[in-house]
Amino acid sequence: MQLGKGTNSRVALASSLALVAILVGAFGFVADQVIEGETTRFDTAVTLLFRLNGDVRQIAGPIWLQDAVRDFTSLGSFAVLGFIVIASAGYLLFSRRLHEAVFLVTSVVLGTMLSNVLKMVFNRHRPDVEASTHVFTASFPSGHATMSAVVYLTLGVLLAKSIPSRGLRSYFIGLAILLAFLVGVSRIYLGMHYPTDVIAGWCLGISWATLCWAAVELIEHYENAARNGQTGVRGVGRQKGTEGL
């Protein structure tokens, strides 16, 4: 999203805020259903799609597929995402794009804090499978789904903003969405999360990334408007001074 002038600016901002409202509402709905215990049937049905003979402890698919899915899930890990964010922020700093570097780091750090706080609030137990016994954080919402959406969408938008080609912009945004999707599905496949954990994580991550980006674009819009206004005032002053000579 990039704000233009006049009506386009208002439409873009309104669309972003509407998307955030819808996603936050979806998160609240899923969270309420989880608290009430209404998601058990759905979670079980989706989880069993990735299991052999209805046994939640036996992952379906050949060994090579399971290894590939573990590779995908690592793309949403704290270590990998942290490295990507640090490397990207370093590039932005060396490119003298300070505002974008600050935006990237701030949105990711605050998003991580929000995800962890919500995990502590809901304190949902992990699925009862062997893979989840090695994880010590709560299940809801999925941190991998949340933070992969935040990081990859933020980077996708930053890349899209710097490229004039509409096709390439769509490609980067689509790639970011695909990465977040694959990370989320991998968590369900491996039994690390319930499906509703991942859905809530996607809603939270996308809404947070959208909200942060809308805030930054709005600030830049008003800064540019103020700068243009000051330029106009100086131009009028110079014109009056010339007329008085």
Catalytic residues: 144, 193
> Taking the alpha carbons of 200, 202, 208, 214 in that order, is the dihedral positive or negative?
negative
Count of other CB atoms within 10 angstroms of residue 23:
19
Check residue 235 and report its DSSP letter.
Answer: H
**Six-digit token string for 188:** 């369900």
Instruction: Give how far Cα 67 sits from Cα of 128, 184, 185, 189, 190, Å.
Output: 21, 16, 14, 11, 10
Please give the Cα distance from 33 to 194 (Å, whole number): 13
Q: Using CB atoms within 10 A of its CB, is residue 181 exposed (0-12), middle (13-18) or buried (19+)?
A: middle
Which tokens belong to 50? Answer: 């990735």
Q: Structure tokens of 220? A: 């830049």
Four-CA torsion 13, 84, 156, 110, nearest 10 degrees: -10
75 phi and psi angles, rounded to 5 deg: -65, -15
- Give the pair of three-digit tokens for residue 244: 């008085």
**Token pair listed for 107:** 């949105």
Q: What DSSP state is assigned to residue 140?
A: S
